[in-house]
Every structure is written in structure tokens, then in C-alpha cells.
Amino acid sequence: MKHNITITRNDQYDFVVCGGGPAGFASALSAARQGLKTAVVEQMGCLGGVSTSGGIHVFLGGRKLNEATREHVRVIGGIFDEFTDSLIADGYAVEPNTIDMSFNPFGWYPRMASGIHCDPIGIKTRMEDMLLSAGVRIYYFSTLTDVIMDQSTIESIIVHNKDGFVSLSARCFADCTGDGDLASLCNVPFEKGRKEDGLTTPASVIMVVDNVDGHDLVTYQNEHQSPKLVEIIERLKSEGSWPFLFEIFVSMQLVEKDVFLINTVRQIGVDGTSEMSRSKALTEGRRQNIKLFAIMKQHFPGFANARIRTIYDWIGIRESRRISSVHNIKLSDALNGASYDDCIAATTYNFDLPDPLKPSYDPMMGDAKRPNAKRKHIVIQIPYRSLIPQKVDNLIVAGRCIGCDREVLGPVRIMGPCMQMGQAAGTAAALFSTTKSFKTVDTDVLRKRLWDAHVINPLTLPFD
């Protein structure tokens, strides 16, 4: 069979980042600021990944509630703080310490108030401005399709866009696709899903509704101590009027008053690395949101006059490939607070990974048998080694697809730590010129650079 695939152009860079989500953004920005000619390849038409294209505008993991002072203290730093502080200053995000915790529409729980609630327009325009002013070339509507290797070195990647098949060469590359697409093309071994059956945690399609009476909703949640409206859902179920597998309602106000993000529908059995599975899940997710909205209007406090503002054209994948890295973070390491001499990021978040078949049940949290209760240390360190894939010399991975046990994904996959890993990856790329492999980057020098850039926060990461 004859085909038409020819490479139309070869563009050359020092560093190419695949994926412009939280990890890819921070990775490209830090590398470009350290003088690397840098490009980002992004299949969508904006930066931000799940935070924009996927509709989740709450950046968790950058602040943590101090129970004694009731202050949301900073536990990350660097680009995360610079980015979110600039959004807060311009009214595109809410400063957590201004949220009234006794009447909190931003997800009700204190841990949700610790997130930085951002406006999606603010996220995508600010990320773009920051990358462009650092000199990064952004390739939108460009999908990574292939890789050209010389033994264990990537020579170039092939992306597809309106120009046809374009080759991008670089000294080194970052995989920030969330799904580990580049690592997978390089034949890096990976794990996906549960050991016993490969099933992954449910996926979600996000809906935003406006004209909500947020006061009525939060009053009800407060009076019934019921953030997820479970008793209403139980009643509807017993009456046969709840057609879903999930049994909780998750909502949070956006920056704009009375506009709520609904992160409720959950599809099981989705494979985030399969087109067919993603397409089916997106179709089902849209339909479920329409059905859910009708129920919300009729039965949930505050939604009688609400309208659907948008249902995102994106299937929110919480879990797919986890690469085999030089050192995968083990669940036992995470529970015991293992410390690494090459730690470059940290997370203080929960073991939040709902059961693949029971979408409302989170086996990682809650009762005494589950990891959250066994946790001996609040800080989980992320070592540099977990970003370094086996088999390839000039590839680094940051974000959701790093090397870790599946249970550890819960705390590491949120956006704060993803940005912190991204900044570390971009900084490592700047050190790559002195070595031939990411494996031999001097991690003392790397950590010193991250310390100087305030990425290493002394509250969560040790630094002598």
C-alpha cells in the first residue's frame, strides 16, 4: 500500500517538551530562562492540560492548611508560586487565605480551600505570555506521532500538524504528555492500572454550570454536614431515579461567584491510551452530564435556575502509563516518608485514587486499613531518579506519568507537584550540556539551582 508520509521540515532546538500541561509549561519555562532554545508540542490549542482543556481549574498541592494557625501555608515554590501569585494579583485566582472556611463554596473541604482556584482564561493566557516572553516556540495543534532514535538517544521526534509531518531535533527531550506517549514510543517499559487486571481509576468529563444559588447550596451542605449530598442521592436511588454508578456529587465554585465546576460523572473501564476507549468515554460522559444536570435542577439545593455553561470536550484521565524509571517510588517509601538525596519535588496531598469499579469509593483514604491511615509522614518526596526512564539517555519525564507504584499516583498527580517536577526537568535539561545522559546529571548542582529558584521549600524538602 502506498502512503504519503514525508517529513516536510526539520526544526532544531536544544530542548523539546511534549505536552503543555502544568508539568510541560514549567519544564519549558525553566529551560528557556536558563538559555535553552526550547519548544513545546501541544495537541490542543492552549496550554494548561487538564487545568484548561480538561476543565479542572483548582491547583492543589501548593498550599497546605496549618491546623494550628488555620493558615494555608506555601509548601511548594518557584514557578508554581510565581504563576499562581500573578493570577491572584490580577483577580484571575483566589488567595486561599481569604476564603471564609465557615462558609466555603470552593469545594467545601479545607483541603479544597488550600487549592488555588483559577479562572481558565487566566491560566491559558498567563502560561502563554510567560512562555512567549521567555522565547519558547509553542507548536499548537501538533500531535507527537513518532520518534527517531540512534540506539538509546532520541535524535528527533515527528509531530503531525497542518504542515504535515514535521521533525523536531534537540539535544534532549521531556515527556510531559501525562500518558507517557513519548517514553512509550521509545519503548520505555511501563505499568498501567492494577497489577491484577490492568484496570485504572475512573475517568471524568467536567461540566460548568452558572446561575447557581451558591448560598443555598453551601447552607444546605453546612447544615447537613453533607458536602457530597449523599443522603439526597441515596433517596433518589431508593426511588429508582438515580441512574448512575457513582454515588457522590462533587462541585466547587469557580473564581466567578455562583459559577460551579461539576466534577461528578465517572466512567469506569476507560483506557486512557486507547482512542476508541477515550472516544466512547467522552460520549458517555457528555450524556451523563446532561442527565445529571436535569436531576440537579430538580433535586439539589441551589440549582433550580442553573444553566449549563459548558461541558468540556476532553476526557479527564486520572491514571494511565507510569514509566519504569531508575527508581520507581514505592508505596512503602511514600507511607514511611522515605528521604532521597536527589529529591527535587514533594507532595503533601492525599492518597486519592478512586476504585476502578466502584467510582465513589476511594480505597486510599478513610478507614484504618487504607494507606492514608497508615501514613507516618505528611511529606512524600519525589526523587530525581523517578523522572528518569530506563533505556533512553536524553529523555526526562515529568508530571502524571513518572515512575511510581500506582497508589502513589494519588498524591503525586495533582498540579502543584507536577509543576515542581516540570521545573526540575527543565533545570536538568539546562545541565544536560555538561553530560550525555540525564542519568549522569549532577543532582547536587541541580538541587542547588532549584534551591536558588525557591523550588525547594524547606518545609517539605530538606536542603543542607
Ligand X SMILES: Cc1cc2nc3c(=O)[nH]c(=O)nc-3n(C[C@H](O)[C@H](O)[C@H](O)COP(=O)(O)OP(=O)(O)OC[C@H]3O[C@@H](n4cnc5c(N)ncnc54)[C@H](O)[C@@H]3O)c2cc1C
List residues binding ligand X (CB under 6 A).
18-24, 41-44, 49-51, 53-54, 56, 58-61, 115, 143-144, 176-179, 181, 204, 263, 316-318, 399-400, 413-415, 418
- Closer residue to ligand X, CB minimum distance, 304 or 365: 365
- Closer residue to ligand X, CB minimum distance, 5 or 445: 5
Integer angstrom CA distances of residue 68 from 28, 65, 73, 285: 38, 9, 11, 41
- Closer residue to ligand X, CB minimum distance, 221 or 267: 267
Other CB atoms within a 10 A radius of the CB of residue 149 amount to 17
Other CB atoms within a 10 A radius of the CB of residue 315 amount to 23
Q: What is the closest distance, in whole angstroms, from the C-beta atom of residue 225 to ligand X in the complex?
A: 22
Bridge partners of 311?
Answer: 207
Angle at alpha carbon of residue 232, lines to 230 and 238, rounded to 5°:
100
- Pick left, alpha or beta for residue 49 (phi over 0 → left; psi -120 to 50 → alpha; otherwise beta): left
- Closer residue to ligand X, CB minimum distance, 300 or 314: 314
- Closer residue to ligand X, CB minimum distance, 357 or 445: 357
d(CA 18, CA 25): 10
Q: What is the closest distance, in whole angstroms, from the C-beta atom of residue 56 to ligand X in the complex?
A: 4
Q: What is the closest distance, in whole angstroms, from the C-beta atom of residue 126 to ligand X in the complex?
A: 15
Q: What is the closest distance, in whole angstroms, from the C-beta atom of residue 5 to ligand X in the complex?
A: 17
Q: What is the closest distance, in whole angstroms, from the C-beta atom of residue 26 to ligand X in the complex?
A: 8
Other CB atoms within a 10 A radius of the CB of residue 68 amount to 6
**Cell numbers at 255, concatenated:** 473564581
d(CA 456, CA 275): 38
Integer angstrom CA distances of residue 183 from 121, 317, 419, 428: 31, 18, 19, 17
- Closer residue to ligand X, CB minimum distance, 110 or 440: 110
- Closer residue to ligand X, CB minimum distance, 20 or 96: 20
d(CA 265, CA 287): 10
Radius of gyration of the chain (CA): 22
- Closer residue to ligand X, CB minimum distance, 176 or 188: 176
- Closer residue to ligand X, CB minimum distance, 178 or 371: 178
CB 325 within 8 A of CB 401: no
Q: What is the closest distance, in whole angstroms, from the C-beta atom of residue 273 to ligand X in the complex?
A: 10
- Closer residue to ligand X, CB minimum distance, 316 or 359: 316
Bridge partners of 12?
Answer: 169
Q: What is the closest distance, in whole angstroms, from the C-beta atom of residue 57 to ligand X in the complex?
A: 8
d(CA 14, CA 37): 5
Q: What is the closest distance, in whole angstroms, from the C-beta atom of residue 36 to ligand X in the complex?
A: 19
Lookup result for grid cell 493570577: 87
The separation between CA 284 and the C-alpha centre of its own chain, rounded to angstroms, equals 22
Alpha helix segments (H runs only) across 337-459? 371-374, 409-412, 415-431, 443-452
First to last CA, the chain: 62
Angle at alpha carbon of residue 454, lines to 394 and 89, rounded to 5°:
115
Closest CA to 244 of 360, 352, 353, 356: 360
Q: What is the closest distance, in whole angstroms, from the C-beta atom of residue 319 to ligand X in the complex?
A: 9
Q: What is the closest distance, in whole angstroms, from the C-beta atom of residue 27 to ligand X in the complex?
A: 9
